[in-house]
Structure 1
Amino acid sequence: MTTYQQLAITRFGEPAVLAMQTQPLPALADDLALLDDQVLVKVVYAGVNPIDAKTRAGLGWAAAQNKDKLPWVPGYDIAGEVVASCEAAGRWSAGDRVSGFIGFPLQGGGYSEYVAVPAEQLSLVPASVPLRQAAALPLAGQTAWQALEKAAVNAGDQVLVLAGAGGVGHLAIQLAVARGAKVFASCSAGNADFVRQLGATALDYRQGPLDVQLKDADVLIDLMGGDVGIGALGCVKAGGRVVTVPTITAEQVCKQARQRGLLAEGMLVTPSVMQNDAMMAMLAAGTLRLHIDAVYPLVDGATAHQAIESGHTRGKIVLAVGGDA
């Protein structure tokens, strides 16, 4: 029986608690243990997201629900090739290049050389889109898309995106610009040119409070939360809209926003193949840019977590799981 490798959270704590583990892979034949509509994917790249690191540290709902199920394999973004599928998953054939936002929020499983995925959770990756980009897109892209929808961003709106150079932020800028909004984004001086190239006006958070640099924004997309998110509320005009993404501080940010007369909501992303397909087409057409900051081997997942926890990554981080394709 063939085996395959996974990177698992062995206990909650620092990045060093991540460890490789070996699992058996059934023969790829009639005895393949796939459920009704599942597809077996050989993972080539897996996206790394802040929620992975928070769960590993024991923070948030996914950690609370999985605390008695360790070791647990994190990872919600994958891209790779179909190896096998059951008859009910007839759309997919061996060799198809696919991407998906999988196992969210309790199953995870993306940090793995192979993963069985419900067929309806997968998108076809166009030939012109590298698999590393396809793996980096789903969670971050759909978070950005849904935050803008929840905030009802329209043409002519002034939109402030916090952490504009980050994984979600750099996609949110582009999607907001595509809606016709005038976009401002907080970032460091070192990321100012990057943010401008995406179509936003860069606001260097080290050059003073954001609410001094910008007034009367219609919308705040808060990707930072906590004191940073609360401090940015002063940038938004009365009656403006706030969507805050970090779930741990959402209640706190929304309470402060409402006291200022703002419309405020927290959000938890919901996987959407339709949105993934749409953004995949944008990547293929060159109308959406996805920046990969670093690629780490699966065995170096702890280093990838250290990088994402630094708060200074530009764009996305991915794990190379099964080689390039």
Structure 2
Amino acid sequence: MNECKQLAIPQFGEPSVLAMQTVEIPQPSANQVLVKVAYAGVNPIDAKTRAGLGWAAQQNQDKLPWVPGYDISGEVVARGTEVTSVSPGDLVSGFVGFPLQGGGYSEFILVDAGALSRVEPDNVSLIEAAALPLAGQTAWQALDKAKVSDGDQVLILAGAGGVGHIAIQLAVARGASVLASCSADNVDFVSKLGAIALDYRLAPLAEQTGKVDVLIDLMGGDTGIAALDCVREGGRVVTVPTITAEAVCERARELGLEAEGMLVTPSVEQNDAMMAMLEVGTLQLYIAAQYGLSDGAEAHRQIESGHTRGKVVLAVDI
């Protein structure tokens, strides 16, 4: 059998446009490995691209059908002639094909060997290993860009989400005092991660807290702009949603704040560091739901609800 099932975007639109397709299993080139995918992470960027929004959609609009997915975990089943870092049978995970190639919603995927982390299944499950890369590295790099360090007071918007719940834990590990916005249903969840939970429905965030040193904006738009009132003069702002980054940064600078948008860059070193944290229990991942590959539309609806606690994954190898 030489066939590979994939969940693809044949045209931009609602989650229902996602469709299964079959292609030949590809063969690795010299520096690549072929991974039999066990799990694929589902991220907001997947849904935005499917809807035709953002840079990945613009660049791939003439290349449809396109297979989304940037997080994978699974087993190496073949390797190129120059690969020595991993062998068939090894379990791996990675942040792959970003931002234009994608490909994670697939039974098999070709990956550059250097883009992969080893997974020790006794310490980190494959489902965690697939949920971690994009969200974890986004959180890590946002904190780096904001220069979060010991003693900083940090406000994280959407603290219960995929990136947010990791960002809280990483910021706490750096010695920061963390506040995080969330819904009433997630107050206990966010509090257990080490943050002061702020129910955004109770009152404007600026009325619930004093001035903070850093804002990590995972919401963007009007919500991100309103949260700027929580930041002290000269404070730092990093806004992650790219579609509204310019507007948020412009308003932040008008208020005398340092502000930057960001686009995550894949880093095996950061992924390995967070995998080590998972192994010893200093980082925890919450998996909200898992769906089969053919149920990817439901996974996208879950992500687009705006009320997902933690991460959503596709169970590919079931």
TM-score bracket relative to the smaller structure = over 0.9
Which residue of structure 2 aligns with residue 7 of structure 1? Answer: 7
1:139 paired with 2:134, answer: yes
Shift of 1:206: 0.3
1:90 paired with 2:90, answer: no
The amino acid that maps onto 1:66 is: N
What CA distance in whole angstroms lies between the structure 2 residues aligned with 1:4 and 1:236? 50
The amino acid that maps onto 1:309 is: E
Gaps in structure 2 of 5+ consecutive residues? none
Which residue of structure 2 aligns with residue 123 of structure 1? Answer: 117
The amino acid that maps onto 2:59 is: Q
Which residue of structure 2 aligns with residue 16 of structure 1? Answer: 16
What CA distance in whole angstroms lies between the structure 2 residues aligned with 1:284 and 1:245? 27
State the Cα deviation string for residues 165-194 of structure 1 (Å, max 9, x = none): 000000000000000000000000100000
The amino acid that maps onto 1:321 is: V
8 A contact 1:81–1:97 mirrored in 2 = yes
What CA distance in whole angstroms lies between the structure 1 residues aligned with 2:147 and 2:25? 46
The amino acid that maps onto 1:223 is: L
Taking the TM superposition and a 5 Å limit, the aligned residue runs for 1:149-298 are: 149-298=144-293
1:322 paired with 2:286, answer: no
TM-align CA RMSD: 0.7
Taking the TM superposition and a 5 Å limit, the aligned residue runs for 1:304-319 are: 304-319=299-314
What CA distance in whole angstroms lies between the structure 1 residues aligned with 2:83 and 2:12? 36
What CA distance in whole angstroms lies between the structure 1 residues aligned with 2:275 and 2:117? 8
The amino acid that maps onto 2:224 is: G
Shift of 1:140: 0.1
Which residue of structure 1 aligns with residue 40 of structure 2? Answer: 46
Paired residue secondary structure (2:89): coil
Shift of 1:232: 0.3
Gaps in structure 1 of 5+ consecutive residues? 27-32
4+ residue segments displaced more than 3 Å: none
State which drifts further: 269-278 or 81-90: 81-90
Paired residue secondary structure (1:98): strand
State the Cα deviation string for residues 5-44 of structure 1 (Å, max 9, x = none): 0000010000011000001126xxxxxx321200000000
TM-score when normalising by structure 1: 0.97
What CA distance in whole angstroms lies between the structure 1 residues aligned with 2:209 and 2:224? 14
8 A contact 1:215–1:234 mirrored in 2 = no
Paired residue secondary structure (2:39): strand
8 A contact 2:29–2:81 mirrored in 1 = no
Identity %: 72
State the Cα deviation string for residues 177-225 of structure 1 (Å, max 9, x = none): 0000000000001000000000000000000101111121000000000
8 A contact 2:286–2:309 mirrored in 1 = yes
TM-score when normalising by structure 2: 0.99
Shift of 1:2: 1.5
